Each structure stands twice: as structure tokens, then as C-alpha cells.
């Protein structure tokens, strides 16, 4: 095993600075998956479980979402919430039982609510999709895979948190399902810089292209909206 005295942040900087790093690249059509932008994880003024890495994270995500909608591409928002019994958290919810514990994010609670700064357009306002997930990956026991097949996407853009948890799990699942996977760096966050940068490094080296958000925005801005079709109602 290689050893190093460098911090996770320093190792990430080295990886990111490598001009010869291999890329998966963007495909023809993408989905935007925004993971768990709920108060339990975004409102640092309210909850100990919340975190912030880039203070403009939600602003960047909203900008991405607007461009995806302009292209008539799918926008998905996930959140976690559990039954009053907590039994649908399974073994994941057994290690602790405090007000901050995962299984105690109840349906309809403040912790389960989306951060009001997020521009989520559903119902009469738009056709963003909201999925409740109970495990780390946005693919696990949700309709996400069927949605991606229906829309014939080949690229998955992932934002949200945490970098070391649900973002990583979704990124791994995305690649395993054959999708080009993109993680805009400013759009993901974690509780501690060590976890955050270590997992950005691992994602970059194995599972995804971790890019500056401006690169993804520029890619989207360079695309021409396609004519509306039946698939747009997915």
C-alpha cells in the first residue's frame, strides 16, 4: 500500500491537476439527480446533521436545473424519510436511536423537508420528479432506472450530499449501470473535508468525472433543445 503524509485535500488537488487524467466524458442526453437537499442535511443553523462545503452549492444546482428543463431533460430530487416505526430503515437504522438518527427522519417532519432555497418545480409549476429513497443510492428501490431508460439518457449528473455517502453510492451505481457519470465539484458537500476530498479523489479515479460546475454549465449551454416528444412526459 502506498503511504503519504499529504492530507486528503492535497491528494485531491494533485489528482485534479493532472492534465492527462482519463475522462468518461459527456454523452448525448443527461439526467440531473439532486440528492437529499433536505433541511436535515442543509440547514446548519438548525441541525447537527447538516453540513456546508461550498456556500453557493444550491445556487449552482438551481442553475443546472434550469438548463436541464430548458433542454426538456429530466430533473430528479431525492430525499430520505421513514415511517414512524423506523422499520423501513432496516439495519441501517439500528446503531443509534437519538433525535438525530437516520431512522428518525420522519415523513412530514422538518428534517425531511426540502431546503426552501431549492427551485423544485413540480405539479402545475413543472415536471421535476421527487423520489423518496431509504438507502444511500438514488437507484436503490426507486423508479430512477426506469425513468432513465424511458428518457434514453446515457449521462448522469449528480449533485447533493453527502459526498462520501449517497453521492458516492449513486455514482458507483450509475457507472455499474453503464452511464457516463458527472459530479460537479461545487455541487456536492460533506460533513468533514477529509471525507469529502478523499471521496472526490476516489470518484475521479474510478467511477466518475469530477468537474468544475462551469464546465457542465457550458456543455449544457452549447446544446440545442430537441423538439418535444412523448418521452418528455416521463
Give SS3 for 184.
Answer: strand
Nearest Cα to Cα of residue 159 among 37, 8, 55: 37
Cβ-Cβ contacts under 8 Å for 220 (sequence gap 6 or more) = 64, 67, 68, 71
| Distance from C-alpha of 88 to C-alpha of 227, rounded to nearest angstrom | 41
Neighbours of 183 (CB within 10 A): 28
| Distance from C-alpha of 77 to C-alpha of 74, rounded to nearest angstrom | 10
- The answer to whether 54 and 186 are in contact (CB under 8 A) is yes
Which residue numbers are catalytic? 166
- The answer to whether 100 and 47 are in contact (CB under 8 A) is yes
Amino acid at each position: 500500500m502506498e503511504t503519504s503524509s499529504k492530507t486528503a485535500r492535497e491528494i485531491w488537488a494533485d489528482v485534479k491537476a493532472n492534465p492527462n487524467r482519463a475522462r468518461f466524458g459527456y454523452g448525448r442526453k443527461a439526467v440531473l439527480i439532486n440528492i437529499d437537499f433536505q433541511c436535515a442535511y442543509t440547514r446548519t443553523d438548525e441541525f447537527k446533521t447538516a453540513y456546508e462545503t461550498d456556500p453557493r452549492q444550491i445556487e449552482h444546482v438551481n442553475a443546472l436545473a434550469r438548463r436541464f428543463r430548458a433542454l426538456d431533460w429530466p430533473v430528479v430530487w431525492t430525499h430520505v424519510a421513514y415511517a414512524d416505526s423506523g422499520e423501513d430503515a432496516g439495519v441501517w437504522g439500528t446503531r443509534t436511536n437519538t433525535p438525530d438518527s437516520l431512522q428518525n427522519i420522519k415523513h412530514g417532519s422538518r428534517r425531511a423537508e426540502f431546503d426552501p432555497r431549492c427551485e423544485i418545480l413540480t405539479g402545475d409549476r413543472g415536471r421535476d420528479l421527487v423520489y423518496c429513497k431509504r438507502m444511500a443510492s438514488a437507484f436503490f428501490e426507486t423508479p430512477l432506472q426506469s425513468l432513465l431508460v424511458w428518457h434514453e439518457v446515457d449521462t448522469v449528473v449528480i449533485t447533493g450530499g453527502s459526498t462520501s455517502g449517497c453521492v458516492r453510492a449513486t455514482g458507483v451505481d450509475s457507472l455499474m449501470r453503464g452511464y457516463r457519470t458527472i459530479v460537479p465539484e461545487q455541487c456536492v458537500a460533506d460533513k468533514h473535508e477529509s471525507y469529502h476530498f478523499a471521496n472526490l479523489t476516489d470518484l475521479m479515479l474510478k467511477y466518475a468525472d469530477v468537474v468544475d460546475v462551469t464546465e457542465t454549465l457550458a456543455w449544457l449551454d452549447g446544446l440545442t433543445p430537441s423538439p418535444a416528444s412523448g418521452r418528455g412526459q416521463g
